[in-house]
Chain A
């Protein structure tokens, strides 16, 4: 995480989204994962 990141409050939840385009194998596949950045 950037040291100078500005948080919305004491902590902030961020969302990672991964998108695959696997063509004829499975088509498009997407998933998300959250993590939390705290200032303390």
Chain B
């Protein structure tokens, strides 16, 4: 254990991500490429083109669970100080205006890219509208808690005690957005809250203090030479949450519309929703545009692997890979079978005496993500681990894969850190080192000597007494530019206690995590701190 309390702050923490969505069935209509005009004809004889219609996230007749899944929104940054780039803000009445900036149509791998949209949220001082009592929501077939519980414990969760949520006190009721992009917020119209807050746009939880959904705004974005500027409809939402006595504001910009239609991939029918969920891409024909597929009669996504919810995903259906694409305005979805060569990815022991070897998860090329693992019919989109699989010929990097390597289980992703820089997202230096070729299997056997990269601190970084230094070291394969995110010994188990979110905890057995240890010594070589550094 760490001996010095102050030193404990130095040690790094783990993180976990979970994303679950649901949808519904629909009817099917399609045109063979060549039967339609323009872009679809150029797609080739194998392509099938499906029309998509525009839907509004405010349409209450649509499937509510689907709508909830479409309303994450692009998060803007918020702060207490005005931005220097802004020439003038309107006269603000609040003692604590919320100044913000969101970037539209950004490059997901480049910081501070995209079209900046500045805003400020103010308080008029008028009496907030009284919140109506929340209606009882029908129980869903499968909740997030059930899914998490099934993943962790292999059983459905007990229904938790319903917590009475505190009433919202929405005092922030004026929004100014630099809609004309002149960096002057005094000449833009004031945006006021919707008279009635759509329930699908606000997710209630105990720490939520304010949730204000503003009226729709329209922002012009460049759709390219042919289409010029096009209006992009957005619904701004302010949420203020309280944690340990401090309030944290967040402003999301939700795409007011999405595209929906019935499609077929191979012989299988799906309901498709094309949406700008967490990034406002403007044009729909971007790799990060969301594409959610659901099977008729089955709630939830078709696939549960990282990247399966993106337009750029390459999907394996009945043994054949398919790509999907769309037009800038998203009025049609083009499904095309992959006709290129395939090769083999195999997990190998690399000369070790191991026989329990498998992989499951997702990889991506420069352009597309795809699953590794076997999709079993009737198993709600989860993937079964495989020792080897066929992939389209190309160069890959893991998004996230789980590898069973004898008694060890590894979680692996691309290494997005750089030496001395956390979360560098430096896409240029990524190597797509998993090279799938037609004639020779790629055997991933962990034979490259590993390295330890210190994302923090930087070499010889200086600090003063009282400063906080974060130690963030990652175990990497420098050849594949990947990092080991998790390493457990499945032959040994330890107790793990987690909070269920309603004040209760539960304890279960889990494989022992082989966390590295960290020690810190002074110039004289005396050890002044030590402790484990959990994987994350």
Contacts and interface: CB of A to CB of B under 8 A. Distances in A.
Nearest to B464: A38
B6 A31 contact: no
B4 A2 contact: yes
Contacts of B469: 1, 35
A8 B7 contact: no
Interface string A1-27: 111110110011111111111111110
Contacts of A30: 452
A26 B446 contact: yes
B426 interface: no
Contacts of A5: 465
B6 A38 contact: no
22 contacts: A1-B467, A2-B7, A3-B466, A17-B520, A18-B471, A18-B516, A19-B518, A22-B475, A24-B406, A25-B487, A26-B449, A26-B450, A30-B452, A31-B451, A33-B454, A35-B457, A35-B461, A36-B462, A36-B463, A37-B465, A38-B462, A39-B464
A14 B457 CA distance: 11
B352 interface: yes
Residues of A in contact with B, size category: 20 to 34
Contact of B465 (A2, A19, A24, A25): A2
B6 A1 contact: yes
A40 B522 CA distance: 18
Given A18-B473, A38-B464, A39-B465, A8 B410 contact: no
Contacts of A20: 452, 475, 487, 514, 516
A12 to B, nearest CB: 5
B455 to A, nearest CB: 10
A28 to B, nearest CB: 10
A6 B487 CA distance: 37
Which interface class (under 10, 10 to 19, 20 to 34, 35 or more) fits B? 35 or more
Contacts of B475: 20, 22, 26, 29
A11 to B, nearest CB: 8
Contacts of A11: 462
B408 to A, nearest CB: 6
Contacts of A36: 460-463
B471 A16 contact: yes
Interface of B: 4, 6-7, 352, 354, 405-408, 410, 446, 449-452, 454, 457, 459-469, 471, 473, 475, 484, 487, 489, 514, 516-524, 528, 533
A35 B463 contact: yes
Given A2-B4, A18-B518, A33 B473 contact: yes
A7 to B, nearest CB: 8
A30 B465 CA distance: 27
A16 B471 CA distance: 8
Contacts of B459: 33-34
Q: Which residue, A2, A5, A25, has most C-beta atoms of chain B within 10 A?
A: A25
Contacts of B517: 18-19
A37 B464 CA distance: 5
Given A14-B521, A16-B471, A24-B354, A31 B465 contact: no
Given A4-B465, A16-B454, A37-B463, 5 more contacts: A16-B519, A17-B519, A18-B518, A25-B408, A33-B459
Contacts of A40: 464
Contacts of A34: 459-460
A29 B466 contact: no
A14 B520 CA distance: 7
In order of increasing CB-CB distance, the 3 nearest A-B pairs are A31-B452, A2-B6, A3-B466
Contacts of B450: 22, 26, 29
A15 B516 CA distance: 16
A1 B463 contact: yes
A15 B518 CA distance: 10
Given A2-B4, A25-B405, A17 B518 contact: yes
A23 to B, nearest CB: 6
A2 B389 CA distance: 52
Nearest to A27: B450
Contacts of A12: 522-523
B220 to A, nearest CB: 48
A10 to B, nearest CB: 11
Contacts of B460: 13, 34-36
B398 to A, nearest CB: 16
A15 B533 contact: no
Contacts of A31: 451-452, 454, 473
A38 B520 CA distance: 16
B273 to A, nearest CB: 41
